[in-house]
């Protein structure tokens, strides 16, 4: 069912831009002993955990015009059916943050040609004359939440989540982001956010679980059989930004390819023969962690872990895997509560 992480993403790392001392002190005090690994060499040119090396911020040539009005103008570049993008939308919607959506063509990716970082989601945030690019769903969420709670400028906040080059399990170089599950808050701000240190650690642990385990159960389940793969790609083509010919090719060739790839993913992530079992176990593990005495992991309202798990699972709505999940686990009441909380967020 997937082990819980023993450390939260990368250990907390000091970015090149100094974190305010009162914020850093709270972070170190709130860290359980196994997380008190502060990487003093997180700046450019230094080594980090697992051979990580700092890289330049992966963006360039930002678009100059955003059409939204308001104090914070947001544009989300996404694939609608991507679980990481769904996480960001769940966060934005729950916090009633207006944003413009740009659906990215998954073949040409012309919409994000301005960016050397080629994954979605990408969020552009304009605050006055300052225009910032935020990459990685968890960085986007942590940075925006820090901004909402503390009022620190996003321009400063994003420097606390430096990009690092790392090698993944397949030996491929990837960009990882330090500190991405941390909110950069001082003591008073942290006390407003959390009932205690345990609540903060719990939220981070399950946010990482959503990224490191839950998300890897989606593809093997929605592409489990040829019929499910075809239904999934029919949905992807309908919701995504495809041309007529591209859509027809993607539906059939994509479904066939992802059916085969899902078998490799099943092996890579050591899933059981029936991948539904892993999905059901993960859902029930989450429900058990929330417990019977609170409606959400965040207590009376969803926290960032609730929104992350909900966002990941939501991309399966309308598919056989989602119906099976609701029918064969205990997750539906919690899922519907989060859905209702997002729908009722003040706008």
Q: Is residue 8 situated within a structural domain? A: no
Domain of 142: which CATH number? 3.40.30.10
The answer to whether residue 199 sits within a structural domain is no
* Same domain (yes/no): 125, 268: no
Task: Tell me if 276 sits within 8 A of 220, measured CB to CB.
Answer: no
Is 84 labeled as catalytic in the residue annotation? yes
9 is catalytic: no
The mean-pLDDT minimum among 18-27, 141-150, 181-190, 204-213 falls in 18-27
Identify whether residues 242 and 122 lie together within a single domain. no
pLDDT (0 to 100) of residue 261: 86
- Would residue 77 count as lying in a domain? yes
Read off the DSSP letter of residue 213.
T
The answer to whether residues 221 and 274 belong to one domain is: yes
Both 164 and 264 in a single domain? no
Mean per-residue pLDDT, 260-272 = 90
Task: Please indicate, yes or no, if residue 304 is contained in any of the structural domains.
Answer: yes
pLDDT of 32 above 80: no
Q: Which of 82, 91, 177, 181 is catalytic?
A: 82
The predicted pLDDT at position 13 comes to: 59
The pLDDT of residue 18 is 67
45/174 same-domain check? yes
DSSP 97-159: --EEEEEPPTTT-GGGTT-S--SS-EEEEEETTEEEEEESHHHHHHHHHHHHHH---HHHHGG
Place of tokens 């207006």: 98
Q: What percent of the chain has pLDDT over 70?
A: 82
What is the overall mean pLDDT for the chain?
84
**Could you tell me if 133 and 258 lie in one domain?**
no
Q: Active site residue: 12, 59, 79, 99, which one?
A: 79
Q: Are residues 226 and 321 in the same domain?
A: yes
- Number of structural domains found in the chain: 2
Q: Is 82 known to be catalytic?
A: yes
Instruction: Assess whether 165 and 131 both reside in one domain.
Output: yes
The arithmetic mean of pLDDT across residues 180-198, rounded, is 95
> Given 59, 84, 223, 335, which residue is catalytic?
84
Please report the pLDDT score of residue 42 as a whole number. Answer: 32
* Segment 236-264, tens digit of pLDDT: 878 777 776 677 777 778 888 888 888 98
In this predicted structure, which of 9-13, 40-44, 185-189 has the lowest mean pLDDT? 40-44
pLDDT (tens digit per residue) in 52-78:
233 334 443 444 444 343 578 999 999
Structural domain boundaries, residue 153: 21-193
Q: What is the mean pLDDT of residues 122-151?
A: 95
One domain, residues 45 and 172: yes
Kindly state the tokens that stand for 242.
């495809």
Upper half-sphere CA count for residue 202 (Cβ side, 13 Å): 17
The pLDDT of residue 5 is above 60: no
Q: Is there a single domain that holds both residue 144 and residue 259?
A: no
Distance, CA of 30 to CA of 192 (rounded, Å) = 14
Whether 9 is in a domain gets the answer no
In a domain, residue 252? The reply is yes
Choose among 187, 151, 189: nearest CA to 71.
Answer: 151
Catalytic residue among 85, 194, 235, 322: 85
Lowest mean pLDDT among 145-149, 182-186, 268-272, 331-335: 268-272
Can you give the pTM of this predicted structure? 0.83
């Amino acid at each position: 069912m997937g082990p819980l992480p023993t450390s939260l993403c990368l250990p907390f790392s000091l970015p090149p831009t100094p974190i305010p001392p009162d914020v850093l002190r709270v972070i170190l005090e709130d860290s359980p002993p196994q997380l008190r690994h502060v990487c003093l060499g997180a700046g450019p040119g230094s080594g980090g955990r697992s051979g990580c090396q700092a890289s330049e911020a992966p963006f360039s040539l930002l678009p100059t015009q955003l059409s939204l009005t308001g104090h914070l103008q947001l544009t989300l570049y996404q694939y609608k059916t991507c679980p990481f993008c769904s996480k960001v939308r769940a966060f934005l919607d729950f916090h009633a943050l207006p944003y413009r959506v740009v659906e990215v063509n998954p073949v040409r990716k012309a919409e994000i040609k301005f960016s050397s970082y080629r994954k979605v989601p990408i969020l552009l945030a304009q605050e006055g004359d300052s225009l910032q690019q935020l990459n990685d769903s968890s960085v986007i969420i942590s940075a925006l939440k820090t901004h909402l709670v503390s009022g620190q400028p996003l321009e400063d906040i994003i420097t606390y989540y430096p990009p690092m080059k790392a090698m993944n399990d397949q030996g491929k170089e990837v960009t990882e982001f330090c500190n991405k599950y941390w909110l950069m808050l001082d003591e008073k701000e942290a006390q407003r956010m959390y009932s205690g240190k345990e609540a903060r650690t719990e939220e981070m642990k399950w946010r990482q679980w959503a990224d490191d385990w839950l998300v890897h159960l989606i593809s093997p389940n929605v592409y489990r059989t040829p019929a499910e793969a075809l239904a999934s790609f029919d949905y992807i083509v309908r919701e995504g930004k495809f041309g007529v010919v591209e859509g027809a090719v993607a539906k059939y060739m994509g479904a066939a390819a992802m059916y085969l790839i899902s078998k490799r993913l099943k092996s890579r992530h050591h899933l059981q023969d029936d991948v539904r079992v892993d999905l059901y176990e993960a859902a029930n593990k989450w429900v058990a962690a929330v417990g019977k005495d609170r409606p959400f992991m965040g207590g009376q309202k969803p926290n960032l872990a609730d929104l992350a798990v909900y966002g990941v699972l939501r991309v399966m709505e309308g598919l056989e895997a989602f119906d099976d999940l609701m029918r064969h686990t205990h997750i539906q009441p919690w899922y519907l509560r989060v859905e209702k909380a997002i729908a009722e967020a003040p706008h």
